[in-house]
Chains A and B, each alone.
Chain A
């Protein structure tokens, strides 16, 4: 009973994540792309839950569907956009379009065949107690991976300062320096 439920949930969220990923790439309106991306992140969080990664599922929803998508929607509102023509018009760009699609399809199908040939079936390890929970993650972070943790915090500080410096309005600075 539980087995069939897991398979049903997996198929549902896998299909939904593919559909919403296609929605991100194929919709002309970037607001619709952003909403599809939120749906895709939610499906991926559910796939994490199916693999006993509870903390990562929560972080996926909080960080991606919460913080990152708010940033995206803000910028979509700030930046006015024309309707984009996805399918190219000229013959040369149509050929380029088809070549790109064919290359991506070829690589993806190749990878799928490789995965199916070298199957990992039936060797999943038994889970230790507390796998995927916040306590086990925190203990790993502050024992084996403390350097990685500090490096991530430094990266985030540098990125925030860099984003502020890049996006500040330089024209007002120039006017102030010109008047003074």
Chain B
């Protein structure tokens, strides 16, 4: 078993930067598929934080929540990709700027 030598701070830093990159991807990319992938990145950064704190406190409840976040991520991807496919059938595009039919 690995003895705890690296403090939880370093893992939090890694997760923070990953979350920032994911948030930048959601904001600046226009391809709906890449936006979904960036959301996955952000969810993974949150998972890394949960695992880090579980390790820090020696309590496995964090792992349970990682599992639940994974379940939510799968549900989100399944429904999101289904929406992208059905939108693509109607509009022939996945660019989120061109999908403005509900725009008032």
Contact = CB atoms under 8 A, between A and B. Distances in A.
Interface in B22-69: 22-25, 27-31, 33-34, 36-38, 40-41, 44, 47-48, 51-52, 54-61, 63-64, 66-68
> Which bracket fits the contact residues of A?
35 or more
B8 A72 contact: no
B1 A104 contact: no
B41 A71 contact: no
Contacts of B57: 125
Interface residues of B, number: 74
Interface string B67-97: 1101111111111011111101100001100
Contacts of B104: none
Nearest to B77: A68
Given A84-B29, A105-B20, A10 B86 contact: no
Nearest to B27: A100
Contact of A101 (B24, B66, B85): B24
B58 A125 contact: yes
Contacts of B9: 115-116, 119-121
Do most interface residues of chain A lie in helix, strand or loop, or is the interface mixed? helix
Interface of B: 1-14, 16-25, 27-31, 33-34, 36-38, 40-41, 44, 47-48, 51-52, 54-61, 63-64, 66-68, 70-79, 81-86, 88-89, 94-95
Given A44-B48, A121-B9, A141 B64 contact: yes
A140 B64 contact: yes
Given A53-B63, A121-B7, A131 B68 contact: no
A25 interface: yes
Given A52-B2, A112-B17, A81 B94 contact: yes
A55 B21 CA distance: 26
A131 B56 contact: no
Contacts of A116: 9, 13
B2 to A, nearest CB: 6
Contacts of B94: 79, 81
Given A132-B60, A141-B64, A148-B64, A120 B8 contact: yes
B63 A132 contact: yes
Interface string A35-67: 001001100100110111101100110011001
Contacts of A10: 6, 10
Contacts of A104: 20, 23-24, 27
> What 3 pairs between A and B have smallest CB-CB spacing?
A125-B58, A108-B20, A159-B75
B51 A160 contact: no
